[in-house]
Amino acid sequence: MPGVDEVFFALSDPTRRQVLRSVAQRPELTASRLAGELPITRQAVAKHLAALQKAGLVEPRRAGRETRYTLTPAPLVDAMGWMVDVGAEWDQRLARLAERARG
């Protein structure tokens, strides 16, 4: 399973975030249909989908001649858990710093 770093890398690009948002809202989208909705080529959409697939965020499924994509949310849950853990750690550090500054 891909790591949190791959998820963050995949989500670092605004176009990939838009592609993921579209797939989340309307499962079973094809690269061609996505390209029709975005100001980029079908080949560019395919590359973005490949990056999202490598991060484990989308899953392809062949349907005849088409490949349809669906969201796989597990990596997002893992990334959110990591952010919560890191955020809690920083909250504790900042609270200790504020306490020292007051004392």
Please write the tens of the pLDDT for every residue from 10-27: 888 999 999 999 999 998
Q: Supply the pLDDT for residue 4.
A: 78
CATH value at residue 31: 1.10.10.10
Q: State the residue range of the domain holding 27.
A: 4-102
Phi and psi at 73, nearest 5°, equal -75, -15
Q: If you write DSSP's letter for every residue of 39-71 in order, what string do you get?
A: SS-HHHHHHHHHHHHHTTSEEEEEETTEEEEEE
**How many structural domains are present in the chain?**
1
Q: Tokens 């499962």 sit at which residue?
A: 27
Could you report the per-residue pLDDT of 5-64, keeping only the tens digit for each?
888 888 889 999 999 999 999 988 999 999 998 999 999 999 999 999 999 999 999 989
Query: Which single residue is written with the structure tokens 């858990």?
Result: 81
